Amino acid sequence: MASQQHGDDSYESGVEEICSSLSSRSFDLISGDKVKSLLLRRSETALDDLESFRESWSRMPLDGYMADGGRYRRRRHATLSAPPASADYRVEPHQPHYQGLDYNNLNGGVARHYEPFEEQSLRGATMDSLLTLGCDIFGRLAPYSGWHIEAHQFRIEVNGEEVGLPTPEGVHRDGVTFVLMAMIGRSNATGGESTVFNLDKQPVEKFSLTDVLDVALVNDERVYHGVTPIEQIDPALPASRDVLVITYRHKP
């Protein structure tokens, strides 16, 4: 359940600014510093567990559903919901993740049963803050819609044996309404450049999430997105890229 909001007007104005940009462009980029400042305006305890939250990415199991046979992705998953125009979200019973082949021609078409988030990460201050931020932004853009929310922890690893593909399905949409992508950390990694495409799959903007809590928001009904492979900076050391993805889908 979302923590009680007690932020000031600057939080509200910050959210409104993001809504305006996302509405006009169908995507928005927010620097990690700006995200942290915004979250702390809402609650002074918003990021109290940020370091332990980030550290939880080091304890993830391999994604066992990679149709390309890859062993370069680790993953956890959670399902939540929220009522219309409200950040009063709730954690739903753990359930599989499903995408149709229309949206994921590599790994779609099957129910994928991933390990759940660790409880302290899912219910901690940082996750609460990011979930609430998404509810606040997307709830303004679609105030009459309740949300089916799914959260995904991703780690892409490169050790010189495989190519590390953040989006192995290629340029895609997730089959949801809105997507929030937050950088959690990079280690010895280069690449991982994101591109937003219009519905004709023409590139609109390229960017890289590099700093902690750099956030990209996309209207999944209006744009496609994709991420280039990551590579090692020092070939003698493993590389990794950790990202949190939270999707919000209209709930009837």
Domains of the chain by range and CATH? 9-251 (2.60.120.620)
* Residue in the block written with tokens 């993953």: 75
In whole numbers, what is the pLDDT of the chain averaged over residues?
Answer: 91
What is the average per-residue pLDDT within 135-147?
97
Q: Between these two residues, 113 and 31, which has the higher pLDDT value?
A: 31
Per-residue pLDDT band at 105 (split at 50, 70, 90) = low
- What's the mean pLDDT in 74-92? 97
Q: Identify the band that residue 66 occupies on the pLDDT scale cut at 50, 70 and 90.
A: confident
User: 187 vs 52, 207, 217, CA distance in Å?
Assistant: 16, 18, 23
Please give the DSSP secondary-structure letter assigned to residue 229: P
Between CA 228 and CA 166 the distance in angstroms is: 7
Question: Helix, strand or coil for residue 122?
Answer: helix
Q: Is the pLDDT of residue 1 over 60?
A: no
How does pLDDT run across 183-229, given as a tens digit for each residue? 999 999 999 999 999 999 999 999 999 999 999 999 999 999 999 99
Q: Say yes or no to pLDDT of 4 above 50.
A: no
The residue ranking higher by pLDDT, 25 or 71, is 25
Residues forming beta bridges with residue 227, ordered by sequence position: 194
> In which element (H, E) is residue 207 found?
strand 203-208
Name the band, by pLDDT with cuts 50, 70 and 90, for residue 65: confident
DSSP class of residue 58?
A: G
- Residue range 48-65: average pLDDT? 96
